[in-house]
Amino acid sequence: MEQFPRRAWWYREAPEEGRLTTGQHILLVDDEEGLRRIAKRALELAGYRVTTAADGVQGLEAFQAHKQEIALVVSDITMPNLDGVGLQRAIHQHGDQVPFLFISGLPPEDVLQASSGMVTDVLAKPWTVAELTERVRQILSRT
């Protein structure tokens, strides 16, 4: 397994309570391989099980394969083939109401406004490991 430096620019320790999970399964969808690898590793270190996909089409296929297990979808908004909002729409059309956390380089208020209410949770890029794991923990604690 690939090792990540513990003191890289993006790394900050997550608070202890952020590490307490019940091993929920997260679907992580991002077309940027480096970000996908970092986010996957961070979420796994926080105790989550993670399935990854490189775009919305792959994300939809992965969701269908694991839909009984997926507790949260963490998705980039802008991706080729099928964007994050399109992925959310496709999953919700089939009656699956899994929560989404969107990651975007756009300001969160612009994303919320442009999505016509489809997007409710946004994490702005660049994010830190602590920010990602804390937002995931917060969303999962609401479900």
Q: Yes or no: say if 29 and 76 are a contact pair by the CB < 8 Å rule.
A: yes
Backbone φ and ψ for 72, nearest 5 degrees, come out as -160, 145
User: Is 66 part of a structural domain of the chain?
Assistant: yes
* The pLDDT of residue 138: 94
The answer to whether the predicted template modeling score (pTM) of the entire model surpasses 0.85 is no
User: Is 28 part of a structural domain of the chain?
Assistant: yes
User: Is 2 part of a structural domain of the chain?
Assistant: no
Domain that holds residue 138: 22-94+102-142
CATH number of the domain enclosing 109: 3.40.50.2300
CA distances from 47 to 1, 41, 91, 117, 122 (A): 16, 10, 25, 31, 22
**pLDDT higher for 60 or 19?**
60
User: Is 56 part of a structural domain of the chain?
Assistant: yes
User: Is 108 part of a structural domain of the chain?
Assistant: yes
Q: Which residue type, as a one-letter code, is found at position 35?
A: L
**Overall domain count for the chain:** 1
pLDDT digit string, tens, across residues 62-94: 999 999 999 999 999 889 999 998 999 999 998
User: Is 5 part of a structural domain of the chain?
Assistant: no
User: Average pLDDT, stretch 40-62?
Assistant: 97
Average pLDDT, the chain: 84
